[in-house]
């Protein structure tokens, strides 16, 4: 599966994310018309990401966000009580979407080699679709409250654990060589993160998302696969 096929199969748009956020936060969002809410949530999130990329989320004020989104302060507060509340919702929803799609993609496959490929491909392709969120999430985790910070760390470890489990399964199947699964998973996760954290570098080199996904897959398999193991 290449990136174009992935996008056709995995429907993750800004509208989808806003719809989920609206559905799960109806009690705190004081706007009842769904279409109005979805439109304004999209404007708020886009504006928050743009401001954060320019000067950092902590330096952003609700007034900055109001001006950038083209909403009055009163309208803005109808959605979020503070920028901290906004940050937590953006982080929480992104984590939920990532975990759901990753699990679905990985466990739809049979066998450790197919699952490892699916984990690498899904993470890279999903971070391409949601690049602003992935970058924002990584950079702003330090500004979360204690409880949300714990959840962000748990989400980071969740992805690694998926890879750890695949590597251990592969070792038991004879597909992968004996290795330190935990350390290998940490290094693989770092390679996956490099795509969205150092995007400027790959853009300058004209490296496509498909090229990067293939390279990481081949690189990891060259290290992990048992000699002579037949790969379909």
- Average pLDDT over the chain, rounded to whole? 89
- Each residue's pLDDT tens digit, 158-206: 889 999 999 999 999 999 999 999 999 999 999 999 999 998 999 999 9
**Is 231 among the domain residues?**
no
Give the CATH number for residue 130: 1.10.357.10
Q: Is residue 95 domain-resident? A: yes
What's the average model confidence in pLDDT over 202-226?
96
Instruction: Provide the domain count of the chain.
Output: 1
Per-residue pLDDT, averaged over 138-165, amounts to 82
Burial 3-19 (b: 16+ CB within 10 A, else e): beebeeebebeeeebbe
Q: Tell me the average pLDDT across 103-109.
A: 92
Task: Give the pLDDT of residue 108.
Answer: 93
Q: Identify the pLDDT of residue 91.
A: 81
Residue 90 lies in a domain: yes
69 within a domain of the structure (yes/no): yes
């Amino acid at each position: 599966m290449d990136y174009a096929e992935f996008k056709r199969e995995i429907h993750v748009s800004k509208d989808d994310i806003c719809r989920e956020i609206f559905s799960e936060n109806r009690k705190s969002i004081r706007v009842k018309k769904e279409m109005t809410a979805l439109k304004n949530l999209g404007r708020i999130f886009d504006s928050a990401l743009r401001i954060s990329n320019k000067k950092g989320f902590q330096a952003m004020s609700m007034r900055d966000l109001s001006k950038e989104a083209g909403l009055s302060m009163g309208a803005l507060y109808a959605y979020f009580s503070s920028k901290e509340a906004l940050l937590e919702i953006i982080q929480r929803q992104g984590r939920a979407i990532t975990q759901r799609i990753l699990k679905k993609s990985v466990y739809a496959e049979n066998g450790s080699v197919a699952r490892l490929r699916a984990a690498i491909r899904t993470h890279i392709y999903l971070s391409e679709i949601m690049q602003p969120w992935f970058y924002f999430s990584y950079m702003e985790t330090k500004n979360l409250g204690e409880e949300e910070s714990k959840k962000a760390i748990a989400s980071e470890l969740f992805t690694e654990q998926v890879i750890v489990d695949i590597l251990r399964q592969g070792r038991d199947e004879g597909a992968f060589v004996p290795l330190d699964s935990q350390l290998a998973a940490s290094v693989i996760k770092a390679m996956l993160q490099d795509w969205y954290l150092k995007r400027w570098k790959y853009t300058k080199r004209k490296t496509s998302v498909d090229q990067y996904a293939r390279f990481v897959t081949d690189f990891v398999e060259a290290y992990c696969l048992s000699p002579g193991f037949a790969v379909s």
